[in-house]
Structure 1
Amino acid sequence: MSFDSLGLSKPLLDAVAAQGYDTPSPIQAKAIPVILEGKDIMAAAQTGTGKTAGFTLPLLELLSKGPKVRANQVRALVLTPTRELAAQVGESVSTYGKNMDLSSTVVFGGVKINPQMQKLRRGADVLVATPGRLLDLYQQNAFRFQQLEVIIFDEADRMLDMGFIHDIRKILALLPKQRQTLMFSATFSEEIRTLAKSLVKDPVEVSVTPPNATAKTVKQWIVPVDKSKKSGLLTQLIKDNDWQQVLVFSRTKHGANRLAKHLEQRKISAAAIHGNKSQGARTRALAEFKSGDVRVLVATDIAARGLDIDQLPQVVNFDLPNVAEDYVHRIGRTGRAGSTGQAVSLVCADEVGDLIGIERLTGQLLERKEVAGFEPSTQLPVTRDTRPLKAKKPKKPKSPRSEHKDGQRSSENARGNKPVGKNRRHTGGGTNKTSRRFSKPKAANSGNK
């Protein structure tokens, strides 16, 4: 199959060819025709398989055939959970739409709002936004939605997480009822799938991989280690293996700062990226990491959404995520677009419940490799049962959580910096007797102080 057979016009085909692509990825081949037919869609595919182009190309095609955008109006809205992902999607819209007479704007917090207001008052065919800043701009009459035709949720699982759902419902209440809704994500837990279906009309479900599957191009293993020795172990792994570009995941913002400082003190260039950093600092850290000036980028989950780094060879889970689905997103930063990568997790006894949840979610046992000098004082038990957990019914939304300074909901606080409910603490959606047996109540929250 070629892009020519998908129903795209010449301006788009020329833009695709200019990027060096001639064959659509599986998610693109399945999603593009459905979107061009005007149907709602829920599409799941692993990170790095071309999801962004999978909705950007047909969106531009549809908009090119419609009326011109009016002042203060938006024809298509793309919602993303993070600034970095918003910028990435905006770049994709500009790249593929360069031969078309369509306008696009990207808005997010952490930067001055006035320039964004001025751009929006001219109208935008495509608006890419984070929820908090979008609502701020709407409340200041920067734009309206009378002309809106399409809304897209990118990283839909995080967008529909309880840290965002209140803003999402506010936004949906502002939109015309006659619209097309597209949802794209690497993972759809059963809880999120149920919630998502309440927001779309008769969606076509498209999936090119088993639910919550990890890419075969990523080699995964874990290193059992005591919590107090993790920093030293990471330092040794980087030096012994001569890792030159490593993306490290920390559960908390303070932990990310502390680890970056630890590495710098040991002559390993490092930078932290998380929700408390200014947009300028986040942009600079990512640019230096991509260029090789920074060897290690330490990130929290919310900041890492949208980090598109070509040929990233190594991902390290310094802390396992509270929510098992986030493991799939994390290691999806490597092994992208057919390249290979490695993902290693440093696991201490306190994280056994999280490990069991991840292994049951992905349906695979992760190979254990101890490192000499860092053998753990407490051995990690082997997961006996990797059958997927039964889905729980979705909970009713709780009261809104606190916001970042930029007006964006803090899913990071919801997942990492504050203790979470024990049901999600261990399995990302369910509990099991094994996880409770190996996780002590006090230890479960020790990483959240």
Structure 2
Amino acid sequence: MSFKSLGLSEDLVKAVSAQGYDTPTPIQSKSIPPVLEGKDVLASAQTGTGKTAGFTLPLLQLLSQTPPLRNRPIRALILTPTRELAAQVHQNVKDYSRFVDLRSTVIFGGVNQKSQVSTLRNGVDVLIATPGRLIDLNNQGLLSLSKVEILVLDEADRMLDMGFLRDIKKIMGLIPKKRQTLLFSATFSKDIRRLSSEFLKDPVSVESTPENTTVEAIEQQVYRVAKEKKTDLLIKLISEGNWEQVLVFSRTKHGANKLAKKLESAKIGAAAIHGNKSQGARTKALAGFKNGSVKVLVATDIASRGLDIPLLPYVVNFELPNVSEDYVHRIGRTGRAGASGLAVSLVSADETVFLRDIEKLIGDKIPMDILEGFEPDPNASTKPFNPQQRGRKPQSNSRSGNSRSSSQKSSGARTGNSRQNSNKPRR
């Protein structure tokens, strides 16, 4: 199967080819045709499946079939939960629209809005945005969504989990009821199906998992260890294994900062990335990680989706997530495009329940080991660290996607619970 056989125009096929792709991934093969037919689509696809091109390519074709409107009002809106994902999607839109007459831009919080507003005033056909900045600019009368023809909710389950449901509903009220809506999510949870039934009309459901499953593509290893020995064990593994490009997941922002400092003290180049970091600091940390000046990137779950880090060799769960699906998203950063990958989890006694739930989810036992000198505490309680939060994300991480401003390559082209909080989520 080729991209042309899916119904894409020569201009888009040429743009895809220029990016080095010639064969669609399963999610692209399943989603592109119904989108081109103008149907609403409910799609389940995880990181690494090429889902972004699955909605970007047909969206661009639909818009390019008619001449640009006068003053170029926003005709397509793509909502994403995080700044990094928004920037990545915008890059894809730019890459694939290089041979068609369409303009696009991205807006998100954490940076000055002046340049974003200036671009919007010049007219854009496709807008990629995080909910917070979008609502801020709309409230200021700096943009209009009255001409939107196509709406995409990308990583919809993550948006719900981060508390954006109220914002999504508000945005829905700002765009025409007559529109095409595309909802992409890692899972078809009850909350996602409820959202779909409310905002999508007779959607076509498509589903795809990564070409290599978690167990098949990624070598997984658990080390049982006393909580207070985790940092020293991580330093040993990185140093003695000569690991390069290690993505380490910490449960909290404070923990990520603390761990990065300890790694630096051990002469291991490290940087932390999370929602409390400025956009400039996050961009600098990610750039250093990609060019090798930063060996270890310590992140909260913001990095489990949206960060474009191809062929990542190592992922470490310094602390296990207490939502099992997040384990899959985390380790899915490695073992992509047929490359080998190693996912290591440092598990203390109070994470025993989380490990059991993860193994149940993936349907397999993860190999386990204990290294001499780093033995687990035999007297430590196996009670979860915060039992009332089990099955939910900790408050400190649920909003780590984007800070709100005060004003408010594979063969193809490249869950949580909804809850509303009295405090507005940070974007």
- Normalising by the smaller structure, the TM-score range is 0.7 to 0.9
1:213 touches 1:328 (CA, 8 Å); kept in 2?
A: no
Which whole-Å CA distance do the structure 1 matches of 2:379 and 2:73 have between them?
Answer: 59
1:53 alignment partner, SS class: helix
**Which sections of structure 1, spanning at least 5 residues, go unmatched?**
383-391, 395-399, 409-423, 430-449
- Post-superposition Cα deviations, 1:243-272, rounded to whole Å, max 9, x if no partner, equal 011000111000000000000000000000
Letter in 1 for 2:355: L
Question: Which residue does the alignment assign to 1:313?
Answer: 313
Cα RMSD of the aligned pairs, angstroms, is 2.6
Which whole-Å CA distance do the structure 2 matches of 1:72 and 1:97 have between them?
Answer: 15
Cα deviation, residue 404, structure 1: 6.3
Cα deviation, residue 214, structure 1: 2.8
CA distance change for structure 1 residues 221 and 21 in 2, over 3 Å: closer, same or farther?
A: same
Question: Which residue does the alignment assign to 2:64?
Answer: 64
2:72 touches 2:125 (CA, 8 Å); kept in 1?
A: no
1:364 alignment partner, SS class: coil
Question: Which residue does the alignment assign to 2:33?
Answer: 33
Letter in 1 for 2:369: K
Cα deviation, residue 203, structure 1: 1.5
Further displaced range: 38-47 or 99-108: 38-47
Number of aligned residues: 395
Question: Which residue does the alignment assign to 2:15?
Answer: 15
Question: Which residue does the alignment assign to 2:108?
Answer: 108
CA distance change for structure 1 residues 337 and 402 in 2, over 3 Å: closer, same or farther?
A: closer
Cα deviation, residue 130, structure 1: 0.6
Letter in 2 for 1:82: T
Cα deviation, residue 370, structure 1: 1.8
CA distance change for structure 1 residues 69 and 227 in 2, over 3 Å: closer, same or farther?
A: farther
Which whole-Å CA distance do the structure 2 matches of 1:7 and 1:252 have between them?
Answer: 45
Cα deviation, residue 338, structure 1: 2.4
2:224 touches 2:368 (CA, 8 Å); kept in 1?
A: yes
Name which of 395, 404, 407 aligns with 1:406: 404
Question: Which residue does the alignment assign to 1:435?
Answer: none
2:245 touches 2:312 (CA, 8 Å); kept in 1?
A: yes
CA distance change for structure 1 residues 88 and 348 in 2, over 3 Å: closer, same or farther?
A: same
1:160 alignment partner, SS class: helix
Which whole-Å CA distance do the structure 2 matches of 1:379 and 1:358 have between them?
Answer: 24
Which whole-Å CA distance do the structure 2 matches of 1:381 and 1:13 have between them?
Answer: 57
- Post-superposition Cα deviations, 1:198-237, rounded to whole Å, max 9, x if no partner, equal 3322221111239x96362112221111111111111111
Which whole-Å CA distance do the structure 2 matches of 1:113 and 1:215 have between them?
Answer: 43
1:153 touches 1:183 (CA, 8 Å); kept in 2?
A: yes
Cα deviation, residue 49, structure 1: 1.6
2:359 alignment partner, SS class: helix
Which whole-Å CA distance do the structure 2 matches of 1:207 and 1:106 have between them?
Answer: 27
- Post-superposition Cα deviations, 1:347-392, rounded to whole Å, max 9, x if no partner, equal 111112222222222222222122222121239999xxxxxxxxx9
Question: Which residue does the alignment assign to 2:228?
Answer: 228
Question: Which residue does the alignment assign to 1:148?
Answer: 148
Further displaced range: 186-195 or 231-240: 186-195
1:46 touches 1:213 (CA, 8 Å); kept in 2?
A: no
2:302 touches 2:400 (CA, 8 Å); kept in 1?
A: no
- Post-superposition Cα deviations, 1:400-430, rounded to whole Å, max 9, x if no partner, equal 989965259xxxxxxxxxxxxxxx9xxx67x
Question: Which residue does the alignment assign to 1:292?
Answer: 292
Letter in 2 for 1:378: P
Question: Which residue does the alignment assign to 1:368?
Answer: 368
1:345 aligns with 2:345: yes
TM-score by length of 2: 0.87
1:262 alignment partner, SS class: helix
TM-score by length of 1: 0.83
Question: Which residue does the alignment assign to 1:441?
Answer: none
Letter in 2 for 1:265: S
Which whole-Å CA distance do the structure 1 matches of 2:215 and 2:49 have between them?
Answer: 10
2:59 alignment partner, SS class: helix
Letter in 2 for 1:247: L
Letter in 2 for 1:258: K
Query: What is the correspondence of 1:266-285 to structure 2 with a 5 Å cutoff?
Result: 266-285=266-285
Which whole-Å CA distance do the structure 2 matches of 1:79 and 1:348 have between them?
Answer: 37
Which whole-Å CA distance do the structure 2 matches of 1:72 and 1:117 have between them?
Answer: 14
1:219 touches 1:343 (CA, 8 Å); kept in 2?
A: yes
2:12 alignment partner, SS class: helix
Further displaced range: 298-307 or 221-230: 298-307
1:158 alignment partner, SS class: helix
1:183 aligns with 2:151: no
Which whole-Å CA distance do the structure 2 matches of 1:218 and 1:401 have between them?
Answer: 29
Letter in 2 for 1:60: L
- Post-superposition Cα deviations, 1:79-136, rounded to whole Å, max 9, x if no partner, equal 1111111100000000010111100010011110111111112221110011000100
Letter in 2 for 1:151: L
Letter in 2 for 1:406: R
1:248 alignment partner, SS class: strand
Cα deviation, residue 161, structure 1: 2.2
Over the matched positions of the two proteins, sequence identity in percent amounts to 61
Further displaced range: 138-147 or 55-64: 138-147
Which whole-Å CA distance do the structure 2 matches of 1:379 and 1:68 have between them?
Answer: 69
